[in-house]
Homo-oligomer: A and B are copies of this chain.
Amino acid sequence: MPTEKAAPLPLSLRERRRAVATREILDAAEKLVTERGLGDLSLRAVARSLGMTVQALYHYFPSRDALVTALVTEAYDELADAVRAATEPGADDPAVPRLVAAAEGYRRWAVDHPERFQLIYGTPLRHYSAPAGGPTTRAMRRVAAVIKRALFDGFTPAQLAAADMPVLSSPLRAHLEQLSPDSLGDLPAPAAALLLSAWGQLHGLVVLEVFGHTSFIGDHQAEVFRTAMRNLVQDVHRRIPDVGAGVGVAAGGGGGEV
């Protein structure tokens, strides 16, 4: 519930009841999705599972798509929170690099909520497309921001600017550096490209697992993922120079400090 903060506004009782009801509807929808699967998501089903009639829901959501949009947004937010929580200090073994912790938080949430992950990163709903520039887009960026922090916190802008990356074309450099600062705009172009690359690897393995394309690995998914992420950290550190004080980078050359 990241949406309740410092709001001691004199909420009318009416509004409180409305908020509660809305919350119940969303919870029912999420429960329905996790239990019966994405294919059975419909206003009717949600209403049934609440013991209400379909028409009542229209007092809370103007259309089915609005409900879906709310669900998608919440899923993004929960994913972002999960990753953030996983990277918080003391959350885990401090010997684990931040990026690995973040990646495992990402994967953990995905395998714990496969349907909702598919809701976000698949396209499982007929005739639904997220409103352009809507809340889902913003929530999406929030996830990216969390990953960005997990990847780059602890590095100086100078280090990032000197990342060892192939030469990028100047149009691309310009485009990347002109983006909104709350997405990737505050990064030097090579660092932005590096982030995309890392996110790609992270996301790719999770997607393959959640969508069942690596089932032949059996019970060892977690271990495979972890080794891949350790390698990723190594590779990233090899590309970011150690000007001045290198903290975590000892891990880079060594790979040793298991």
Contact = CB atoms under 8 A, between A and B. Distances in A.
A204 B211 contact: no
A224 interface: yes
A172 B224 contact: yes
A164 B235 CA distance: 12
A156 interface: no
Give the size range of A's interface with the partner.
35 or more
Contacts of A205: 196-197, 200, 204
A205 to B, nearest CB: 4
B223 A200 contact: no
Interface string A204-244: 11011001011011101001100110111001001100000
A171 interface: yes
B204 A169 contact: no
A183 B218 CA distance: 14
Q: How many copies does the complex hold?
A: 2
B193 A227 contact: yes
Contacts of A168: 223, 227
A142 interface: no
Nearest to A218: B175
Contacts of A60: none
Nearest to A205: B200
Contact of A121 (B165, B211, B217): B211
A158 to B, nearest CB: 20
A199 B204 contact: yes
A151 to B, nearest CB: 14
B220 A171 contact: yes
A166 B204 contact: no
Given A205-B200, A214-B196, A220-B171, A252 B227 contact: no
A241 to B, nearest CB: 12
Nearest to A115: B123
Interface of A: 38-39, 118, 121-124, 126-127, 140, 164-169, 171-172, 175-176, 179, 183-184, 193, 196-197, 199-205, 207-208, 211, 213-214, 216-218, 220, 223-224, 227-228, 230-232, 235, 238-239, 252, 255, 258
26 contacts: A38-B123, A39-B127, A118-B122, A121-B207, A121-B211, A122-B124, A124-B124, A126-B126, A168-B227, A171-B220, A172-B220, A179-B216, A193-B227, A196-B205, A196-B214, A196-B217, A197-B227, A197-B232, A200-B208, A200-B228, A201-B201, A203-B204, A204-B205, A231-B239, A235-B238, A238-B252
